Chains A and B, each alone.
Chain A
């Protein structure tokens, strides 16, 4: 936000004085379309199902906390949130560690086949991940990994690697050669250089790839749907889907459950918006 008293160029231009109110009107309309359904779901969770049926577009009257309390105390919400967190954190850790190692080599070593290896990884960006889901299920079944966290974590790490390497490589190669030489003179090997200098310097990029991996994993549906048959292991997206198809008549309950399930993503996004947007922008520029 522009806190500085300097007038912004567009608002000071004389011929377009009318345009600032118009900008606000349009921006408000766009924002309303984007979040009205979300607000509706959250507010709807404070109504009762009869209220909703009688007047689908009305406000809560009176406000009831029962739906939210019910979801938080009775359903499997907490177990599912825990599963989602474990899987998302495992995925993030795996992607960052494997991605950094590979991107480091691709950025700072010169060797035959380096560009070939890079192309090999970037090919994964063209790969339609969804298409491989059936054979992936069969393979995980043969490996006895079905109904375990690994069945979700390992493939998610694999599918996230190409984007991670594409984002990290330019960051790691942007650090000047002189720093590496200086580190070598001070007695640090290449790996010491990576650990003590390169990684601290590229923390923004690491946060970006970490956030992207976390959000992708937190929202994932198809893979968990196939490989996590055991209800004990269900993640939040599976939980929301099951709840909504089991209690079809409990509209208010579904609204409350859906609100609570999207709350972590919304909070996370508000805090990490810069990283998410920055990461996507970085991917575009790369």
Chain B
């Protein structure tokens, strides 16, 4: 049984907590957030203790895993504190705000002999798993051009931290890091990146970027990152190879639509499409991590891979700033 202490009781913290609630060999024992109410609310759901001070949590609670769901710039602090205390570490993506932070985190965990797992959950999303399986199987032959889309409106979090590009890295680092990891996992190392975007443009609550990646294999990928478009969260993937093409669009793949007549209390009667699964990708991801800890295995996402995804995102941001392609 792995005892988990969660840091950060925001949206992703709640998602992780819900997954631990379903994992047989794990138990959420503590929730820490600098906002005492947020920590207490989430902890109460799972019979866990709540804290607003990390040191107090380490002093008062025995646990095996620290799960970090804070805003990006604070990942590194909690990785270090956790590793120093001999805890295994699960850290939300993106791994770090800088490569230096990623390196420090890897070193701290290696030195402490603890497992470090970066939660690149896309690898457990069934559509992205299926796409990689089909590609690896040779269903579309040798891949040539890849197009991905991800995003919707501007996210809102603690202190509007997503709008602080020095903290969040905008849509390029925070959002399409998912696609970067999947692309690197599927198509191998990247050679160079060229990107255009609104990064820190000063347009309030808008970020949008179009990123072109050339892989060493010759594959060309085009990534759309949007915190600027209405109409709900959209995800699409298309891979064209020399023997075929696969494409997927979440707006088409909704087996369930719930539509209600508008009433005064319900607000506008917009039908809401959804794609329910018997198990959530977050559950599968965290179950994998917990099993790896229990069985002494290495998790499927290595810290180096997570750092490579950050490197690609930071290179894209550099390209947006300089107007030139950036070699990796």
Query: Do A and B come together as binding partners?
Result: no
